[in-house]
Amino acid sequence: MKLTEKQFDVLACLAEREGPVTQRALEAGTGYSLGTVNRVTRELAAAGYADRGGITAAGREALEPYRVKRAVFIAAGFGSRLVPITLNTPKPLVRVNGKRIIDGLLDACLAAGISEIYIVRGYLADQFDQLLYKYPMIRFLENPSFNEANNISSALCARYLLSNAYVFEADLLISNPAIIRRYHYRSDFLGIPTERSDDWCFDVVDGVIRGQRIGGLNCYQMVGISYWNEEDGKKLADHLEEAFRLPGGKELYWDQVPLKIFADRYEVHVLPCKKEDIVEIDTFSELKAIDPAYDV
């Protein structure tokens, strides 16, 4: 049977834990009331998906359609706002407090059981080979147009890999790996709820992204991490190519394709996270503030 959202959330919470899980722990893990947790666990038990020992084999099988199969990293750009560091090093490979920025995201993917990983590279592409010593499972996709087009060109390189997949901006510094999940109920974009933002943000109605713009009040600040289910991933393959051919299409950010150009063809939800979970280091000044080693 197809899981309801509440059934999915409780079952996914059970799947992340070994052995029996108390209803109090499920209440904390899902954010649902104790009464809701009690009702949903009874439903799952009746379906054979859970018992007193936790999730059953049938329950894990029921979660399989929602499993993240792969991760795609958009990492071809120059990172001009982080000059002079990026003159010799691609931004995702810049070290912050001794660790490459992209390593935190890669480690989070592996912790969530996502080992099919693709990196779309362009600027100083050969430098990404160093990742293979620690992450031999990585496969590289080459973007020959990275210097002529916006990041829609990178998404095009990976357009047939976007079903049941995460898409990452590769220059995000993650501090809470748990925001990378093993299972997703539907297509979503991470967003930070905020009263005011001068950055890219989402207008959200009933959990669904209804607009994308720069700056806003009582909105969600956009985080460059999204998940695309099987159906939406297949649509993206065609829509990215179609948008790229439009007048000015080369100047598009890839996420504008499902959220603006073809917004009527998608229902993308926002997945809330906290400001302290992840940060994009935009400028050299911000880098120095986070890592004093650069303040010389």
CATH code of the domain in which 272 resides: 3.90.550.10
Mean pLDDT of all residues belonging to the chain: 94
pLDDT at 17: 85
- Residues 29 and 152 reside in one and the same domain: no
Which DSSP helix (H) or strand (E) runs through 25? helix 23-30
Tell me which amino acid residue 99 is: K
Answer with the one of 65, 82, 108 that is the final residue of a domain: 65
Answer with the one of 47, 65, 83 that is the final residue of a domain: 65
Distances (CA, A) of 274 to 4, 89, 104, 233: 26, 29, 17, 26
Average pLDDT over residues 257-279: 96
Cis bond before residue 193 (omega within 30° of 0): no
The DSSP output letter for 246 is: S
Q: What is the pLDDT of residues 176-214, one digit of tens each?
A: 999 999 999 999 999 999 999 999 999 999 999 999 999
- Residues 140 and 51 reside in one and the same domain: no
What CATH number corresponds to the domain at position 56? Answer: 1.10.10.10
pLDDT at 286: 87
- Residues 132 and 210 reside in one and the same domain: yes
- Residues 86 and 59 reside in one and the same domain: no
- Residues 35 and 182 reside in one and the same domain: no
- Residues 58 and 182 reside in one and the same domain: no
Q: What is the pLDDT of residues 68-122, one digit of tens each?
A: 999 999 999 987 778 888 889 999 999 999 999 999 999 999 999 999 999 999 9
What is the tally of structural domains in the chain? 2
Q: For the beta carbon of residue 39, count every other beta carbon within 10 angstroms.
A: 14
**Structural domain containing residue 52:** 5-65
- Residues 96 and 189 reside in one and the same domain: yes
- Residues 109 and 250 reside in one and the same domain: yes
- Residues 14 and 128 reside in one and the same domain: no
- Residues 39 and 161 reside in one and the same domain: no
- Residues 265 and 200 reside in one and the same domain: yes
Give the CA-trace dihedral at 35, 272, 76, 293, to 10 degrees.
-110
- Residues 50 and 74 reside in one and the same domain: no
The DSSP output letter for 259 is: I
pTM of the model: 0.94
**Residue 21 confidence class, pLDDT cut points 50, 70, 90:** confident
Answer with the one of 18, 48, 65 that is the final residue of a domain: 65
295 vs 227: CA distance, rounded Å: 36
